[in-house]
Structure formats: C-alpha cells, structure tokens
C-alpha cells in the first residue's frame, strides 16, 4: 500500500509541474482543448515561476510569488530524477505588488554543460512537482528569439492568446531541441498591470526548462509588474534611471548580451552600462544588443519620429562604438532584417543565405508578434528582408559555432525557413580606435539631450496624471 501511495504521489508531483515525459524540452504541442485545460488549472493563480538566465552559462535563477506567511526562497536541485542527493539553493524574498505575498528569488550556480538537472521550488503548499532543466554545450550553442508575446489583460481573450504562445514555442522547440535559452525584446504583457498576464506567459511547460532573458517593452512598462515577475542578471540602475528603468547584461559562452530599456532616453546610463559590461567581458567573441523599439526595424517604426530621431540618436552610436554584431528589436509586430548599418547608411549589403566575414556595421533583426503579427505597406532601404505574409507569426534562432553566428528566421507554425544570414568573425573588437574615441566625444551632447528629454517626459507624465 505504501508503494502504491508513493507512486501516486510521485505521479501527482510530476503532473503538478506538468511534465510527465522527459523530452529535450517539456514543451508538448497541445490541442486547444488540452491547452484550455492547462490554462484553467492555473487560472486565478500567480505563483508559476519564471526560469531566468543567469549572469553566465553556469547559472540560472527562479523567481516566483508566494504567500507572505509561507514564503521560503529555496530551490532543491539534483542530477537525479528522484531528487536524491539534492542540493538546496537559498535566495532572498523581496516585496510583491500584492500585500499578502512576497517574491522569492533564487540563483542556481555551478551548472555543468550537457547535464540534466531536476528541481523543485517551495510553493505555498509545499514543494512543487519535479521539473527538468538540461544544460547544453557552453561553447557552440543556439538561442531562441520570440518577441511581443503580448498577453492582454482581457481575461476573455487570454486562453486563446496563451494557446498561440504555447503553439509557436512548442513548434520552435520541437524543431530546435538544442536551444539553450530564450531571448525576447519584450512586450510579453500588454497592460503590465495584472498578474494574470504573467501567469499566462508562464503557463507553457517550457517556461520551466527554457531560461528567459527579457527586455522591457513599452507595454510591459505601463505598469510595474515586470519588477515582480522577472529576475534578470547584472541589472544596471545607473545614475539617472528611475522607477522601472534598468538595463542588464549576461554572458553565455562566447556571447555577451546587452539588454536596454528603450523606453528610457537616459543616454548616459545606457552608454555607461555598455562600457562597464564590455570592460568586464573583453574576451567575448560576440556582442548582441536587445532593445524593444525597432531601430532600423520593420513596419511602423519607419517614419516614427521618436524611433527615427530620438532612439536612433541614442542607441545607434552605442551599438556602433562597441561594434555590436547584431541587435534584436521588436515592438512593430513586423518581421524584418536590416543590411549592415552604420551612421544611418547601409555599410554593407546583407543578402539572405549569404555568409559575411568581419563585416562593417550592425545588423538589426525586428521580431514579429506571437498573437498579432502585422504586415505593413511601408518599407525602407535599410531592410534586406521583410516578411509580408498576413497573420503568420515567426521565430528566430541564433546559432554560435566556432567563428560563425547564423541567424535564421522561420515560420512559427511549420518552421519553414524564411531568412538566414551568417557572420564570420575573425578579428578582435577595438572599441578604443581613434574613430570610436571621436564617436564618444560626439556622443556627449546626445547624453545631455537624452537626459533632458527624459526629465521633461517624466514631468509631463506626472502633470498629466
Ligand atoms: Fe511595443
């Protein structure tokens, strides 16, 4: 009888994590009915954890809400599926947006490559079910990019939106089981104000096995919830940032990722974060930027005054000074990719399917939206690729192998290849070249203008409340 009870408990625990089969990712494709069942099981709760990227490839973190009287920021971590010989990682609690909860934040360290781990976190009612997290290679590896998941605050729409989100995620992970982490340029919530939006974002089972790195978008920033549902590494609060403003960076293998809050025009802080992160990661082979707004993007960022003038003036010189290889943007819900851009001109053509060695300039990828992909008539010379299929979402992968980075964009429903570009890097970065020293001097007035603009904008927002 004890064995039967033990077996039943084990099954119940596995089901509570939603992982009964240990594939590369616990990300099954679900029918609408299966999804609705999963969605309804989690509806009304806000305690699903986000698995977040760590400061480097040897770390991940978990972030979840728990009842104030029961919150215990601890995660059990084991190499064994039965959780034997588990290590306990302890973290901290911080205030939540709700009076009766706290946010638990726990960082897992010492991860080894190509290793399968199992874990449980402390829920209000005891330990969670057992979840699985597999590390892949720390050298050659692949990242998944999906932007603007945009789960709205309208409960009548949320299950359908969540279904769309789970579907593209499951498709991408089924075809790319070698993905190591998930990069998103933000607007994954729509009002940024309700717990239910995050709960739906986090409902797909893959969110417990695919660490997320998320830039904040203008929709996320309509409220404060990003503060309570994410736990990004190396957050940079700067001298002039306020409220939710922050940048962050992380390192994975040879790649340095720089995430910017493009809803903040505080150029001095964005520049200072870049300088610090680059200084600490001189040996990184690749530098990738992630920013919500579509600088050299597709769709209605073209001709948009704020993006074309202000954001371009603030961010493009930073990306060019520090010789970023690729910048990932979103916001317009239109999939596109630029040529190699420098000083507001095409520094080099970047044709689909080609490989370029040590190119001048920066390539910009503008991601689509999960639930509301858009096609625009407007186009621009800077675009090498702009997807024009109505109502089809897409995803992008970044593959790093030796000296080569390959960027591929595929349909979100059947993974048909739409666009690809490879960049081979054989030379070291030199951000201290004479050209870049001049660039930094020329950037000083922009830092001042960006700062003044942000202060005026903050004042206008306060007065209009
Ligand atoms: Fe946006």
Cα(286)–Cα(282) distance, integer angstroms? 10
- Distance from Cα 219 to the centre of ligand 1, integer Å: 6
- Distance from Cα 132 to the centre of ligand 1, integer Å: 32
How large is the average pLDDT for residues 281-292? Answer: 97
Instruction: Supply the pLDDT for residue 452.
Output: 87
Cα(451)–Cα(267) distance, integer angstroms? 6
How large is the average pLDDT for residues 288-298? Answer: 96
Instruction: Supply the pLDDT for residue 112.
Output: 98
Instruction: Supply the pLDDT for residue 2.
Output: 47
Cα(126)–Cα(384) distance, integer angstroms? 52
406 CB-side CA count, 13 A? 14
Using only C-alpha atoms, the chain has a radius of gyration, in whole angstroms, of 22
Instruction: Supply the pLDDT for residue 379.
Output: 84
Per domain, the residue ranges of the chain are 19-134, 141-424
Residue 26 pLDDT > 80, yes or no?
no
Residue 438 pLDDT > 60, yes or no?
yes
- Distance from Cα 150 to the centre of ligand 1, integer Å: 9
- Distance from Cα 331 to the centre of ligand 1, integer Å: 4
- Distance from Cα 330 to the centre of ligand 1, integer Å: 7
- Distance from Cα 431 to the centre of ligand 1, integer Å: 31
Q: Which CATH superfamily is domain 141-424 in?
A: Metallo-dependent phosphatases (3.60.21.10)
Strand ranges for 40-90 from DSSP E: 50-53, 60-67, 74-78, 87-90
Q: What percent of the chain is modeled with pLDDT above 90?
A: 81
- Distance from Cα 294 to the centre of ligand 1, integer Å: 9
pLDDT tens digits for 332-380? Answer: 999 999 999 999 999 999 999 999 999 999 999 999 999 999 999 888 9
pLDDT tens digits for 118-132? Answer: 999 999 989 999 999
pLDDT tens digits for 296-340? Answer: 999 988 888 889 889 999 999 999 999 999 999 999 999 999 999
The CATH code belonging to domain 19-134 is 2.60.40.380
* DSSP assigned state of 378: -
Please state, as a whole number, how many other Cβ atoms lie within 10 Å of the Cβ of residue 29.
Answer: 13
Residue 61 pLDDT > 50, yes or no?
yes
Q: What are the strands of the beta sheet with 50-53, ordered from one edge? A: 92-95, 101-108, 60-67, 50-53, 212-214, 179-184, 141-145, 394-401, 404-411, 417-424, 355-357
Rounded to 10°, the helix 434-463/312-321 angle is: 150
How large is the average pLDDT for residues 434-455? Answer: 88
What pTM value is reported for the model? 0.93
- Distance from Cα 203 to the centre of ligand 1, integer Å: 22
How large is the average pLDDT for residues 167-186? Answer: 96
SS3 117: strand
- Distance from Cα 36 to the centre of ligand 1, integer Å: 27
Residue 1 pLDDT > 70, yes or no?
no
Instruction: Supply the pLDDT for residue 24.
Output: 54
- Distance from Cα 136 to the centre of ligand 1, integer Å: 31
Contact residues for 463 (Cβ-Cβ < 8 A; gap 6+): none
Instruction: Supply the pLDDT for residue 17.
Output: 57
Strand ranges for 216-372 from DSSP E: 248-252, 255-260, 286-291, 326-329, 336-338, 340-342, 345-348, 355-357, 363-366
């Amino acid at each position: 009888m004890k064995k039967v009870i033990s077996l039943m408990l084990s099954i119940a625990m596995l089901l509570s994590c939603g992982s009964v089969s240990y594939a590369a990712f616990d990300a099954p494709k679900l029918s609408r009915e299966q999804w609705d069942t999963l969605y309804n099981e989690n509806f009304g709760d806000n305690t699903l954890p986000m698995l977040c990227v760590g400061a480097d490839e040897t770390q991940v973190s978990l972030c979840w809400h728990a009842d104030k009287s029961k919150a215990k920021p601890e995660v059990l971590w084991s190499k064994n599926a039965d959780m034997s010989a588990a290590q306990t990682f302890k973290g901290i609690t911080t205030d939540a947006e709700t009076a009766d909860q706290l946010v638990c934040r726990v960082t897992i360290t010492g991860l080894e490559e190509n290793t399968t781990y199992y874990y449980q976190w402390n829920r209000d009612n005891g330990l969670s079910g057992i979840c699985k997290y597999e590390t892949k290679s720390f050298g050659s590896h692949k990242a998944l990019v999906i932007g603007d998941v945009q789960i709205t605050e309208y409960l009548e729409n949320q299950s359908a939106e969540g279904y769309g989100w789970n579907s593209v995620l499951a498709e991408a992970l089924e075809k790319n089981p070698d993905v190591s982490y998930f990069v998103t340029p933000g607007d994954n919530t729509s009002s940024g104000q309700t717990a239910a939006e995050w709960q739906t974002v986090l409902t797909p089972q893959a969110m417990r096995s695919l660490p997320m790195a998320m830039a904040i978008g203008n929709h996320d920033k309509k409220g404060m919830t990003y503060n309570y549902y994410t736990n990004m590494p190396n957050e940079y609060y700067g001298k002039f940032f306020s409220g939710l403003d922050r940048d962050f960076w992380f390192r994975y293998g040879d790649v340095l990722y720089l995430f910017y809050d493009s809803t903040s025009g505080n150029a001095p802080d964005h520049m200072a974060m870049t300088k610090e992160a680059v200084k600490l990661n001189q040996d990184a082979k690749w530098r990738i930027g992630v920013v919500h707004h579509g600088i050299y993007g597709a769709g209605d960022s073209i001709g948009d005054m704020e993006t074309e003038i202000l954001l371009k003036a603030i961010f493009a010189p930073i990306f060019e000074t520090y010789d970023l290889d690729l910048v990932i943007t979103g916001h317009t819900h239109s999939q596109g990719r630029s040529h190699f851009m420098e000083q507001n001109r095409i520094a080099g053509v970047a044709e689909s399917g080609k490989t370029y060695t040590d190119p001048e300039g920066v390539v910009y990828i503008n991601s689509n939206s999960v639930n509301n992909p858009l096609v625009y008539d407007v186009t621009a010379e800077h675009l090498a690729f702009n997807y024009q299929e109505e109502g089809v979402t897409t995803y992008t992968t970044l593959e790093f192998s030796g000296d080569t980075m390959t960027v591929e964009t595929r349909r979100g429903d059947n993974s048909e290849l739409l666009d690809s570009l490879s960049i081979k890097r054989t030379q070291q970065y030199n951000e201290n070249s004479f050209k870049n020293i001049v660039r930094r001097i020329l950037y000083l007035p922009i830092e001042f203008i960006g700062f003044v603009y942000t202060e005026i904008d903050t004042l206008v927002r306060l007065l209009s409340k």
